[in-house]
A and B are shown apart, each in its own frame.
Chain A
Amino acid sequence: MASITASVYTSHVPAIGAALDLGKSGDDYWKPLFAGYEPSKAWFKDNTPDVIFLVYNDHATAFSLDLIPTFAIGCAAEYKPADEGWGSRPVPVVKGHSELASHIAQSVIQDDFDLTIVNRMDVDHGLTVPLSLVCGQVAEWPCPVIPFAVNVVQYPVPSGRRCFNLGRAIRKAISLYDEPLKVQIWGTGGMSHQLQGPRAGLINREWDNRFLDRLIAEPDKLADVPHLEYVQQAGSEGIELVMWLIARGAMSDKPPRVAHRFYHVPASNTAVGHLILENSQ
């Protein structure tokens, strides 16, 4: 049987990808940020899974306003890094895991979550920046990835509770897969940031760290936080943090082991948060 071994949470700021791609990771501005991911890269080398289930959001790249799926699961064999208007990131093509993805789709839809099945799409920085941060600059990604895109662009986005329960349904689906695969689930986006309007630039260090504390210790209660609190406290784009609850809901009900925790301000306009949680065996 397949199982979830660990979950990884990280912000996915596009400027981080640009800094890596342009060789600026050693600059004074970026050095402290990338230093925070060195332990993660070492951890990942020792704990490379068979598949990564990667929860992220598309930023008006694969999905325009023509089609806005709340939850979309990638079932394709591969996904090209998207041209987001300044050329594609020079990173490897992302290989999918069609068999596991289709299995999860079938199970989760039968558990009343209406997923959109995607057989062709490009993936933007929301997916590739987390991979670069944790896997490093590689010629090939170390394992297949199942992209799972969540609408956090057009309100209303799914509630924290729905995301958490969806995570539980994904956990069940993975546990029912016959092949003994080790799966990691990643939740990305956030932390506090607001990219629009006169309030742009909002950062809430205290709220972010409380979110990290609660994500570790009391995720079920954290799932009750309403949208309005995210927007008021973590900024209009801080709402992306609901995606972390999908990954957390997929973890075991027993307390996780915190393998790594990191927080840094700023990366461009955004607060960067990062956690690695392992399931106890």
Chain B
Amino acid sequence: MALDKPYKGIPGTTIFDAEQARKGYHLNQFCMSLMKAENRARFKANERAYLDEWPMSEEQKQAVLARDLNRCIELGGNIYFLAKIGATDGRSFQFMAASMTGMTQEEYAKMMLQGGRVPGSPVRDPGEKR
């Protein structure tokens, strides 16, 4: 008997469940390390070398280097952890959110001011062109 995971079918949404958390443990703990200023400095100085200190998959490292947050999430990342990469880059959370929707930051900010994404409206995955 498999566990029931009814949340799998929600468009444009990945629920960070036990399965995702297991896949993303090292990716998320890498993000967590960016809470410390000295680690942020080392990461910025040589991203690849810093990532190689973590037992992450090559796909996870490439997704971080590309700042492809949707791909990071697919590979087990959680947004509260991934947000620490954006903070390290000096990016606002809205910049990060917009990057996952295929909108520019301006378009995204305008949508929020107009009341946010309307429930049930079409969701465009910017990664489809990948």
Binding site for B on A (CB under 8 A): 14-15, 59-61, 64-66, 83-86, 153-156, 192, 194-205, 207, 227-228, 231-233, 235-237, 265-266, 268-269, 271
Contacting residues of chain B (46-91) with chain A, CB-CB under 8 angstroms: 69-70, 73, 78-81, 83-84, 87-88
Binding site for A on B (CB under 8 A): 6-7, 10-18, 21, 25, 28-29, 31-32, 34-35, 40, 69-70, 73, 78-81, 83-84, 87-88, 93-94, 97-98, 100-102, 108, 111-113, 115-117, 119, 123-127
Tell me if B13 and A153 are in contact (CB < 8 A): no
**Contact residues in B for A236 (Cβ distance below 8 Å):** 10, 13-15
Residue of B nearest to A66 (CB): B29
Question: Interface on chain A toward B: helix, strand, loop, or mixed SS?
Answer: loop
New A-B pairs, 13, CB < 8 Å, besides A197-B13, A203-B116: A85-B40, A153-B80, A154-B21, A155-B16, A194-B117, A195-B79, A195-B97, A203-B117, A231-B7, A235-B13, A236-B13, A266-B116, A269-B97
Tell me if B119 and A268 are in contact (CB < 8 A): no
Contact status of A228 and B6, CB under 8 A, knowing A154-B21, A199-B12: yes
**Contact residues in B for A86 (Cβ distance below 8 Å):** 87
**Contact residues in A for B115 (Cβ distance below 8 Å):** 203, 205, 265-266
**Contact residues in B for A83 (Cβ distance below 8 Å):** 35
Tell me if A231 and B10 are in contact (CB < 8 A): yes
Residue of A nearest to B11 (CB): A199
Give 8 closest A-B pairs by Cβ, nearest first. A203-B116, A199-B12, A198-B12, A196-B79, A85-B87, A60-B80, A201-B117, A155-B17
* CB contact between B123 and one of A198, A227, A231, A268 (< 8 Å): that residue: A198
* CB contact between A232 and one of B10, B17, B94 (< 8 Å): that residue: B10
Tell me if B28 and A200 are in contact (CB < 8 A): no
Tell me if A202 and B116 are in contact (CB < 8 A): yes
Residue of A nearest to B70 (CB): A197
Contact status of A195 and B73, CB under 8 A, knowing A86-B87, A207-B119, A236-B15: no
* CB contact between B101 and one of A14, A65, A198, A232 (< 8 Å): that residue: A198
Tell me if B13 and A199 are in contact (CB < 8 A): yes
Q: How far is the CA of A268 from the CA of B109 in the complex (A)?
A: 8
The minimal Cβ–Cβ distance linking A56 to chain B, given in whole angstroms, is 13
Q: How far is the CA of A196 from the CA of B101 in the complex (A)?
A: 9
Give the one of A15, A207, A232 with max B CB within 10 A: A232
**Contact residues in A for B101 (Cβ distance below 8 Å):** 198-201
Tell me if B80 and A269 are in contact (CB < 8 A): no
**Contact residues in B for A14 (Cβ distance below 8 Å):** 93
**Contact residues in B for A156 (Cβ distance below 8 Å):** 17
Q: How far is the CA of A156 from the CA of B127 in the complex (A)?
A: 27
Give the one of A15, A199, A202, A237 with max B CB within 10 A: A199
Give the one of B7, B88, B98 with max A CB within 10 A: B7
**Contact residues in A for B113 (Cβ distance below 8 Å):** 266
